Amino acid sequence: MVKLNLRLPDDLHALVRTQAAADRRSLNAEILHLIEIGLATVTPETPDSPDGAPRRP
């Protein structure tokens, strides 16, 4: 498992913390859940990333 230091703006931290409490998850588990959801919405057939650069496999 990789440890990662992450800097969040105070307002985003508060929002994620509130959502974690509502979902009865730890802050870490909530962040992982949100990342997994976000990555699931990225489809392999999407050729370009939002900045226009080609996606890498």
pLDDT tens column, 1-44: 899 999 999 999 999 999 999 999 999 999 999 999 998 887 66
List Cα–Cα distances, 16 to 2, 3, 27, 36, in angstroms.
21, 19, 7, 15
**Res. 54: pLDDT tops 80:** no
H/E stretch holding 57? none
pLDDT at 45: 62
Structure token digits, residue 8:
């969040």
Beta partners for 54? 48
d(CA 42, CA 57): 12
